[in-house]
C-alpha cells in the first residue's frame, strides 16, 4: 500500500488539471490531455528530452557496469586483508548525496579553475567548456553519474564474484587459460544473474537521477540537458502544473516498470537454464 499509494496519486493527478496554486481545491478530470501537452511541447521539444534521457541512461548503464565490474574484478583479485578496506573506499562516491556529487563535479568541469581543464591544458588541449554544448554536457553528466553510481554495481558484482567456484578458475588455469579467457569464459558467465540486477539498478539510477543534473546544469543551457526527471520537476514546481508533472512521473514509472519486467523475465530465463 505504501509503495503503491504515491504512484496511484501521481496517476490520478496525471488525468486532472491540478495546479500547485489550486492544490486545496478538487481538480477537474481532463483525460489524457496532460500527456498530449507533454508530448507535443515545443519548449523544449519532448523528443529532445527523451533523447537526452536515453543517452544519459545508456551512458550511465555502460559506464557504471564497465567501471563497477572492472573494479570488482580488481578488488576480488586482491588478498582478503586488503579487499575490505579498498572496497569500502571505492564505495564512498556511492554513499555521497547526489547534490554534493553535483557540486563537486561542477567544480571539476569549471572552465577556469576546474580539474578537468587543469589536466588537459598541460597536454596542449585548450580549455573546454564542458557544460555549454548539448553533447559534451551530457557526456560530462554521464561521467559524473557513473562516478556516483558505479558503487552499487561494484557491490553486487564483487559479492557475486566471491561466489564463483575457485575450482573452476583453478581448472581453467591448469588447462592453460589466460586471465582474460578465465574472465570471459568462467567468471562473467557465473555472475550473469548478478550482472542483470546491477544493470537494472544502473538503468533506473540513470533514468531517475535528478539532483546531480539539477545542480550541474539545471537542464540547461536552453533545456539541452533536460531529462524526464527534470521536466517533471520543472513542470510541477517551477510552472506549478501538477497534472503535467504527474504525467511525466507516470511515463517515468512506466519506463521503470517495463525495465523491471524485462529484468524479471531475463532472470527467470537465466534461472531456467540453471535448473
Partner 1 sequence: MRIRPVAVVATLAFIISACTGGAQPAPSASAAAATATEPTGPVTLHMFIRNYMLNQDSPLKTAKADFEKKHPNVTIDLSPAPYDEQHQRILLSKAGGVQPDMFQIDTIWLGEMADQGLAANLDSYYAKWADRSDVPDSFLESSKWKGSYYGLWAYSDTRTFIWNKDIFRKAGLDPEKPPATWDEVVSFAQQIQAKVPGVAGVGFPAAAQEGTADRWYPYLFMGGGSILNKEQNKSLFNSAAGVKSVQFLVDLVRKYKVTPAEVLTQDADAVYDAVLAGRYGMMLATVGDGWADSKLDGPAYKTKMGAAMPPLCDGCKPASAAGGWLFMMNSKSAYKDLVWEYMTTATATPNITPFEVKLVRVPVRKSGLAQAEAFKADPYNAVTVQAAGVSQFAPWVPAYYKVVEHIYTAIQKAVQGTVPVKDALDNAAAEVDKLVK
Shortest CB 55 distance to partner 1, Å: 19
- By CB under 8 A, is residue 132 in contact with partner 1? yes
- By CB under 8 A, is residue 113 in contact with partner 1? yes
DSSP calls for 6-43:
HHHHHHHHHTB---GGGTTSPPPB-TTHHHHHHHT-BT
216 class by beta-carbon count within 10 Å (0-12 exposed, 13-18 middle, 19+ buried): buried
- By CB under 8 A, is residue 239 in contact with partner 1? yes
Q: Which of positions 38-97 make contact with partner 1 (CB under 8 A)? A: 43
Segment contacting partner 1 by CB under 8 A, of 15-23, 27-35, 54-62, 254-262: 15-23
CA 74, 116, 144, 94: dihedral to nearest 10 degrees? Answer: 50
- By CB under 8 A, is residue 31 in contact with partner 1? no
Contact 192, 184 (CB under 8 A): no
Segment contacting partner 1 by CB under 8 A, of 18-26, 83-91, 189-197, 246-254: 18-26
Q: Contact with partner 1 (CB under 8 A): which of 220, 253, 263, 266?
A: 220
Shortest CB 15 distance to partner 1, Å: 18
CA 88 to chain centre: 21
147 class by beta-carbon count within 10 Å (0-12 exposed, 13-18 middle, 19+ buried): buried
Q: Which CB atom, from 159 or from 240, has the smaller least distance to partner 1?
A: 240
Q: Which CB atom, from 41 or from 173, has the smaller least distance to partner 1?
A: 41
Q: Is the dihedral of CA 58, 203, 108, 133 positive or negative?
A: positive
Residues that bind partner 1 (CB under 8 A): 20-24, 43, 110-113, 129, 131-132, 217-223, 237-240
Amino acid at each position: 500500500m505504501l509503495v503503491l499509494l504515491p504512484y496511484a496519486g501521481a496517476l490520478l493527478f496525471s488525468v486532472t488539471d491540478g495546479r500547485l496554486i489550486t492544490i486545496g481545491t478538487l481538480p477537474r478530470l481532463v483525460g489524457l490531455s496532460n500527456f498530449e501537452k507533454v508530448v507535443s511541447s515545443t519548449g523544449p521539444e519532448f523528443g529532445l528530452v527523451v533523447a537526452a534521457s536515453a543517452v544519459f541512461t545508456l551512458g550511465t548503464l555502460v559506464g557504471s557496469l564497465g567501471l563497477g565490474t572492472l573494479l570488482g574484478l580488481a578488488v576480488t583479485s586482491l588478498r582478503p586483508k586488503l579487499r575490505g578496506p579498498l572496497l569500502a573506499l571505492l564505495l564512498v562516491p556511492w554513499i555521497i548525496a547526489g547534490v554534493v556529487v553535483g557540486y563537486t563535479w561542477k567544480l571539476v568541469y569549471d572552465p577556469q579553475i576546474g580539474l578537468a581543464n587543469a589536466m588537459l591544458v598541460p597536454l596542449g588541449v585548450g580549455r573546454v567548456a564542458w557544460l555549454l554544448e548539448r553533447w559534451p554536457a551530457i557526456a560530462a553528466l554521464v561521467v559524473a553519474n557513473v562516478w556516483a553510481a558505479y558503487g552499487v554495481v561494484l557491490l553486487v558484482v564483487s559479492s557475486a564474484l566471491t561466489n564463483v567456484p575457485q575450482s573452476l578458475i583453478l581448472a581453467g588455469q591448469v588447462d592453460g587459460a589466460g586471465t582474460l579467457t578465465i574472465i570471459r569464459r568462467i567468471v562473467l558467465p557465473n555472475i550473469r544473474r548478478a550482472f542483470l540486477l546491477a544493470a537494472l539498478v544502473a538503468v533506473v539510477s540513470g533514468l531517475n537521477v535528478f539532483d546531480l543534473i539539477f545542480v550541474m546544469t539545471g537542464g540547461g543551457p536552453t533545456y539541452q540537458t533536460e531529462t524526464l526527471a527534470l521536466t517533471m520537476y520543472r513542470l510541477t514546481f517551477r510552472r506549478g502544473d501538477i497534472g503535467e508533472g504527474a504525467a511525466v512521473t507516470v511515463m517515468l514509472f512506466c519506463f521503470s516498470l517495463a525495465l523491471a519486467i524485462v529484468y524479471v523475465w531475463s532472470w527467470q530465463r537465466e534461472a531456467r537454464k540453471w535448473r
